[in-house]
Amino acid sequence: MNPRRADAGGAAKVPRPDSARKDTATARRGVGRYDDIRDRLRTLTLRQQRFERYLGREMRVDAAGLAVMDHLVEHGPATPTELARRLDASTAATTLVIDRLVAGGHVSRAPHPTDRRKVIVSPAQDWEVSAFEHVAPIVRGVHDAVEALTEQERATVTAFLDRIVKSYDDAIKP
């Protein structure tokens, strides 16, 4: 028996297991109670993705390059192997991203200070300042939104966001 079914357009569909159907049905039962929050989370995610595409265009860096740059700015210089491991990418793919970033003047490679076989990748001196010019309005907006909250509201929002992060973490199977 073929487990695939064709939809109206002729594309093959793989049926979901019963447990997935039950999870979807359970989620739909609560639709009216949390649609507003779920919709706002979805909108926030879409806006963040849109902003990252904008930032990539403005800085002339692709999505993978932005991930590397974000990591370097946040955590400091790193070896290509460290970057690959931290970004959950292959070393070959990470090396290609670094090559593009070097060619674009966004990062530099330098010999590792203690291990001659390795190199250290560092962001260009002006990268953080240049990127912050684009990110500053968001940083200010988030700061202002947090400042407008009472302590109780802040605790509620923090607990809620922690639960959302945990649901993402729980969804990722090791």
Domains of the chain (ranges; CATH) run 35-171 (1.10.10.10)
Q: Which amino acid is at 162?
A: D
**CA dist 89 → 64, 84, 97, 104, 145 (Å):** 10, 5, 11, 21, 35
Asked if 93 and 64 touch (Cβ cutoff 8 Å), the reply is: yes
What pLDDT was estimated at residue 35?
A: 82
pTM: 0.69
Asked if 68 and 97 touch (Cβ cutoff 8 Å), the reply is: yes
Which is more confident, 4 or 103? Answer: 103
Could you tell me which residues come within 8 angstroms of residue 126 by beta carbon, excluding any fewer than 6 positions away?
A: none
Give me the residues paired with residue 13 across strands: 5
Asked if 36 and 43 touch (Cβ cutoff 8 Å), the reply is: no
- For residue 29, pLDDT over 60 is answered with no
pLDDT digits (tens, 9 = 90+) for 45-102: 999 999 999 999 999 999 999 999 999 999 999 999 999 999 999 999 999 999 999 9
Asked if 61 and 101 touch (Cβ cutoff 8 Å), the reply is: yes
Which is more confident, 130 or 151? Answer: 151
pLDDT digits (tens, 9 = 90+) for 1-27: 444 444 444 444 445 555 555 555 555
Task: For 146, list phi and psi in degrees, rounded to 5.
Answer: -65, -40
**CA dist 33 → 12, 42, 160, 165 (Å):** 34, 16, 15, 20
Q: What SS3 string covers 74-119?
A: HHCCECHHHHHHHCCCCHHHHHHHHHHHHHCCCEEEEECCCCCCCE
